[in-house]
Amino acid sequence: MSHQRYPSDAAVKEPHSVSLKVLRLSRPSLVPQYPLSPPLTPPSTSSSPAPTPAPPPILPASLSYTPSPTNPSPFLLSPILALPPSFGSAYVGSSFSCTLCANHDIPPPIDGGPPLSRKTIRDVRIEAEMKTPSSPQLIKLLPPEEQPGIDLQEGETLQRVVGFELKEEGNHVLAVQVTYYEATETSGRTRTFRKLYQFIVKGLLVVRTKTSELGLGGKGGRRWCLEAQVENGSEEEVVFMEEIGLELEKGLKGRDLNFWGRGGGGREKVVLRPGEGEEVVFIVEEEQEWDGGVEEEEKKVFGTLQLGWRGEMGGRGWLATGRLGTRFLRPREVTTTTG
């Protein structure tokens, strides 16, 4: 994450005795391996039929681990875990977590001279706030009044973990401020510095819907068919869909035709790779009976589509769409007069 540093006091020019490290917390991944075979033997020039060649052995040096008797096959993914090499991508519906580390650094001697004078660091506090595209104000993640000040000896670290649910696309800014009291043998002062970390949140799932009117139901209420296509819009993320459900408004009842989460021959939950999609269907019906009459156009709101998934290494994600609905013709009361 890119960051920018602002000194708390323009008159203070010397380096801070406390440094800040911000590390994103994310799950590791399995290391891929690419088994290689030795070069094939040149074909023989003799006229006798050549025996069927045996499959070439795998070069052990090309494997990220040595096959064992219990696992002799060189599978594409090894059992070795790898830490993320970079910040990675942040997606809407996931949880952004990071650890904030305030370190009391030991100042090195200057040009081989004697060590610098020791400083006592007291009352260290870390504040964290998040700026989202739609929020005009910063959202407090780690208020200073909820944490006591910590004294740090040389080489010690104060760590705080913060989390934030990502609900919209666009530019997000994590603001971290460190405050501490720096004391020497003759004086003391309170010092503060602030850093900004910027990252982009992308959309992971793309939802497209279509509504068709089915006429009247068994109890005389209007019925609709709501079709939804859920597509994995990322370039590298693989998601395991756990739930696709419809949360209805009052006065409506629905029927799920997708058999998610049901045993006994129900449809299996799906894995969506980048660019793949899944279609689901719901039947929505009014609980109130239609009594006929003159019709007028009206918008009917069904509810929201609830999406739950897991990432490749089990990380959970959750997303709710906007309110879905359709326009239709419904009865309008007609008043008549008698002469």
pLDDT, residue 265, reads: 45
Instruction: Considering only residues 156 and 49, tell me which one the structure prediction assigns the higher pLDDT.
Output: 156
For residue 276, the number of C-alpha atoms closer than 13 Å in the C-beta half-sphere is 12
Query: What's 276's DSSP letter?
Result: -
Spatial neighbors of 185 by CB under 8 A, at least 6 apart, are: 117
Backbone angles phi, psi at 89, to 5 degrees: -105, 145
Distance CA 29, CA 313 (A): 7
Range with the poorest average pLDDT among 38-42, 93-97, 264-268, 303-307: 264-268
Among left, alpha and beta (phi > 0; psi -120 to 50; other), residue 41 is beta
Backbone angles phi, psi at 5, to 5 degrees: -110, 135
Instruction: Considering only residues 1 and 288, tell me which one the structure prediction assigns the higher pLDDT.
Output: 288
Q: Which residue has the tokens 């009014």?
A: 286
Q: Is the pLDDT of residue 317 over 50?
A: yes
51-75 residue pLDDT tens: 666 666 777 667 766 666 665 566 6
pLDDT, residue 71, reads: 59
| Full set of structural domains in the chain with CATH | 2-26+85-202 (2.60.40.3880), 205-332 (2.60.40)
Q: Cβ(207)–Cβ(198) under 8 Å?
A: no
Mean pLDDT, range 245-257, rounded to an integer: 86
108-147 residue pLDDT tens: 666 665 556 678 899 999 999 999 998 888 999 987 777 7
Q: Which residue has the tokens 């660091």?
A: 121
8-64 residue pLDDT tens: 444 556 788 899 999 988 887 777 777 777 666 555 666 666 666 666 677 766 776
- For residue 98, the one-letter residue type is C
Q: Is the pLDDT of residue 76 over 90?
A: no
Spatial neighbors of 274 by CB under 8 A, at least 6 apart, are: 232, 234, 235, 236, 237, 238
Distance CA 160, CA 173 (A): 18
The percentage of the chain sitting over the pLDDT mark of 70, rounded to a whole number, equals 72
Q: What dihedral angle (degrees, nearest 10) is formed by the CA atoms of 139, 141, 145, 146?
A: 140
